Amino acid sequence: MSKPPKEPIWPAREHTLAKIAILDAYLNAWFAILGRSVKSDMLYIDGFSGPGVYAGGQDGSPIVAVKAAHKARCDAGEKWTAKTIRMVFVERDSERFDILQSRLAIHQRQPNLSIQCINKAFASAFDEIRRQHMDAFTSSMPLFAFLDPFGVKGTTFNILQEILSSGTSEVFLLFDADGMERIRVAGGAAGCEAVFGAVFGGPSWREISFTDDIKSNSRKILAAYREQLRGRAGAKFSFSFEMRKDNGASGYHLLFATKHIRGLEKMKEAMRAVDKNFIFADGQTGQKIMFGPDNNAVAAVDAETYFNKFCSGKRIRYGDIRSWVLQETPYMRPDTLLTEMSHRHGVDSVIIGGKVIAPGSKLVRWSETETITFRDRLAPRKKGLFDQE
């Protein structure tokens, strides 16, 4: 990651704008859906708010969030069921904090919206937030935290665990896996032990089998971190993708953790809507895949990759395949991949309503299947006269 800017307001780079566009798209869905279904308050936390504006005049994350909340509230009209939307913005830098407060001032007087700004480091502000909004951490109140630090420091695993302790909380965070690897390589001089200990919430990172391959090490750090989020922090689903820097080289990762598959679907929809700026990087192989693989030829190649990696010779529940596809591939649903696998004789049988059915004997709607049994390998792809698909 490049050095953090020193000036209070800095120019937004392409990937910054894309990140904000994803947040915007997701929050529009989050406020709209939950605001019409819950009867409680909702809590939104931005732990690294910035000044709320970029040098080019574009809105920063706090303003985008406030506007999304306001729009959802207005659009819903009578259908709105939630009570107050509580929004907490934390910024450590005093100059940026002052600018943020002035940018938020015009939004302060909206009905059913409470805005709180805290001029502290997030880790210490979090104690205050937790105390004041205890109900959001201990009930089914929707809670969304956006954590967007410069680099690897500023938040700890314990904080993520606390946020994710409620059944209805979600976290969207920047994870600088490359930065973590640089710190690991630098060792004691960069405070490696303390940084990794805080990020992983203990010594579990020591189990990662590091090699001399820096890129592969970054991927392993990311994979281990996601595992922690799902295991120790209790997120059921996590999804990560790599943001490209303006020069096309890999940058850092956006990571989303939730307990609800619908939340993950909505977040992936938001990511796909800004696909040109993002690549999905396969967590295990590093294979880079663009979002939006709606092209059949791409799907055919992907089907083979995923068949070999996840399906070959196994019997798997449709729900598990769906969850895996959502978390580990750029696809929204497994159906296109399953159809391709079936055309290439990779599916042995499926179980629907307790009955074993051979594929092809009846049109299979994949979402109706309980389990799918896969063969060991796929038949080669059929080529046309001129070797086309």
Ligand X SMILES: C[S@@+](CC[C@H](N)C(=O)[O-])C[C@H]1O[C@@H](n2cnc3c(N)ncnc32)[C@H](O)[C@@H]1O
What is the binding site for ligand X (CB under 6 A)?
A: 20, 48-50, 60-61, 90-93, 96, 121-122, 148-150, 154
Quick one: 63 or 326, whose CB is closer to ligand X?
63
- Which helix (H) or strand (E) segment holds residue 372: the answer is strand 371-374
Quick one: 126 or 318, whose CB is closer to ligand X?
126
Other CB atoms within a 10 A radius of the CB of residue 156 amount to 17
Largest separation between any pair of C-alpha atoms in the chain: 69
Q: Are 81 and 36 in contact (CB under 8 A)?
A: yes
Q: 43 to each of 31, 69, 116, 220, how far by Cα in Å?
A: 10, 11, 11, 32
User: Closest approach of Cβ 11 to ligand X, in Å?
Assistant: 12
Quick one: 92 or 322, whose CB is closer to ligand X?
92
User: Closest approach of Cβ 58 to ligand X, in Å?
Assistant: 9
Quick one: 200 or 366, whose CB is closer to ligand X?
200
Quick one: 6 or 382, whose CB is closer to ligand X?
6
Q: Which alpha helices (DSSP H) does 164-287 contain, by range?
A: 177-186, 192-200, 214-231, 261-273
Measured in Å, how far apart are the chain's first and last C-alpha atoms? 40
Query: Going by DSSP bridges, is the β-strand pair 85-90/42-46 parallel, antiparallel, or unpaired?
Result: parallel
Give the residue nearest to ligand X (CB). 60
User: Closest approach of Cβ 3 to ligand X, in Å?
Assistant: 12
Q: What are phi and psi of 285, to 5 degrees?
A: -105, -15
Quick one: 32 or 159, whose CB is closer to ligand X?
159
Quick one: 88 or 289, whose CB is closer to ligand X?
88
User: Closest approach of Cβ 22 to ligand X, in Å?
Assistant: 11
User: Closest approach of Cβ 153 to ligand X, in Å?
Assistant: 7
Quote the radius of gyration of the chain (alpha carbons, Å). 22
User: Closest approach of Cβ 206 to ligand X, in Å?
Assistant: 25
User: What is the DSSP track for 92-131?
Assistant: --HHHHHHHHHHHGGGTT-TTEEEEEE-S-HHHHHHHHHH
CA distance linking residue 14 with residue 21, whole number of Å: 11
Nearest residue to 340 (alpha-carbon basis) of 380, 283, 370: 380
Q: Are 85 and 110 in contact (CB under 8 A)?
A: no
Quick one: 68 or 347, whose CB is closer to ligand X?
68
User: Closest approach of Cβ 322 to ligand X, in Å?
Assistant: 31
User: Closest approach of Cβ 148 to ligand X, in Å?
Assistant: 4
